[in-house]
Amino acid sequence: MIRLLVSLYFVVFVSIIAINQGSEFIWQHWVYQAPDDLRHAKQVAKSLQASVSEPAHLASSIQRYSIDEIAWLAEQREQLLQGDVITTYTERNDALLSFLLKDNATLVQLGPFQPAEQVLLPKYLLKLCSFLLLAVLLMFWLRPLWRDLMQLKYVTEQLSKGQLDISIARSRFSAIATLTSQFHTMATKVANLMSNQKHLVNAVSHELRTPLARLKFALAMLEKQAPEPVYQMSQDVLEMEVLIDEMLSYARLEMAQSTLQFKPFDIVALLNEQMKKLQRITKKQIELDCPFSQLSLVAERHYIARALQNLMVNAHKYGQENIYIGVKATQSHIMLLVGDDGKGIDEKEHAKVFEPFSRLEKSRNKSSGGFGLGLAIVAKIVAWHGGQCEIQTSQWGGALFVIYLPRSH
């Protein structure tokens, strides 16, 4: 913080000093000293005063008076007696130049002259150029800072897409060079963790399935000798297989974001496809609320289908007799609704059910199937699409899951 403040203060201070000095130099040498009629006339008056000693030597067209014929202020009279050329103005704001000859009695007046025009335009142009120059200098100071910030944004986007090959071009002139270096170290560690997770998933996929296959074969050979214990052990092996499949599915989903392809498709057609699949596995009454014959959504069709499938299977497991499926739309969002007439979910547990491997003890436990990854997968897919998922109460008092998806990306 202090380093950033000192750096900015130093740049602004030096810039203002340099701009002020440069503006003063330009004003004095190029603007203020520009020639005009009045200034030129003053030079002629001084030359005339120095070269003419007698009134008779003056041209007849030049006006001459006695110094006492005009009422002068005390200061003006003193200046005339000292040999200065003074400037007075008429009612029309024209300038008159007055001076005394060497006899200190004869007053000569030249004019009238139009006064020098005000140099407002050059003055404001010079101020504008000064402010623009200050902006340019600040841009030079901000460029390394902006470059580092854009690199931080780029790295976060790469990590969010699952791309682990990241690099940062460090700049020692930036005010946040230390932060950039620390962020690069952290990003590298995160990338290594993600890479290790990927290798772990592959290892689990290959290394655990092989001994499980051997166990299944051995249990099949022993089934005739001890059918009851073998059956119980077979159920445990089957449960392990299902758990491994769920874990692998969720782990692969973690790394699938980089392959997402958002394309427009008909969400109503997709909903009908998923309903037909649900009707094959359930005897519960399905209530469909879809006032649209066709509705376009820009998203990844495969993963939206996966999210809908998980919610429908969830409603089939925990519902009693009824399942509700609905579609609503606004100008910017599409809402997908899936509900049931089960026991519902307590409001305190709404956030918890979207966490991986989270199961509610009373109404949604392992005895009814699942390992707590279905809703976590739904939440992740919805987050990828920039939407959100919330839990409400259905018309029967059970759980109602509502997915909000933006219509375009």
Burial 255-285 (b: 16+ CB within 10 A, else e): bbbeebeeeebebbebbeebbeebeeebebe
Least confident window among 94-103, 358-367, 391-400 = 358-367
Q: In this predicted structure, what is the pLDDT of residue 28?
A: 62
Average pLDDT, the chain: 79
Whole-number pLDDT of residue 369: 52
Q: Which residues pair with 147 in a beta bridge?
A: none
The CA distances from residue 30 to 35, 129, 131, 155, 397, in Å, are 10, 15, 19, 51, 85
pLDDT, residue 257, reads 62
pLDDT digits over 48-107, tens only?
778 877 777 677 677 788 888 888 888 988 888 888 888 888 877 778 888 888 877 888
- pLDDT band at residue 308 using 50, 70 and 90 as cut-offs: very high
Q: Across residues 256-281, what is the average pLDDT?
A: 86
Q: Which amino acid is at 323?
A: I
Query: How high is the pLDDT of residue 208?
Result: 76
Per-residue pLDDT reduced to its tens digit, 197-217: 777 776 776 677 778 888 888
Q: What is the pLDDT of residues 1-17, one digit of tens each?
A: 576 667 777 778 788 88
Question: Residue range 322-348: average pLDDT?
Answer: 91
Mean pLDDT check: name the lowest of 77-86, 115-124, 295-304: 115-124
Entry field: residues in the chain: 409
Q: Which helix (H) or strand (E) holds 404?
A: strand 399-406
What Cα–Cα distance (Å) separates residue 3 from each residue in 6, 135, 183?
5, 21, 18
Above pLDDT 90, what percent of the chain?
19
Smallest CA-to-CA distance from 406 within 294, 292, 296 is with 296
Half-sphere exposure of 283 (CA within 13 A, CB side): 0
- pLDDT of amino acid 366: 47
Q: Residue 402's beta-bridge partner residues?
A: 337, 390
* pLDDT tens-digit readout, 20-34: 777 777 766 665 444
Confidence of residue 169 (pLDDT cuts 50, 70, 90): low
Please determine, looking at this structure, whether the domain spanning 262-406 carries the CATH number 3.30.565.10. Answer: yes
With contact defined as beta carbons under 8 Å apart, do 281 and 348 qualify?
no
- Distance between CA 214 and CA 219 in Å, rounded? 9
What is the value of pTM for the model shown? 0.54
Least-confidence region, from 9-23, 169-183, 301-315: 169-183
> Domain spans of the chain?
208-255, 262-406
Least confident range from 141-150, 340-349, 362-371: namely 362-371
Of 55 and 284, more confident:
284
Q: Which of 367, 389, 386, 393 is nearest to 377 (CA)?
A: 389
Contact between 341 and 363 under an 8 Å Cβ cutoff? The reply is no
- For position 271, what pLDDT does the model report? 93
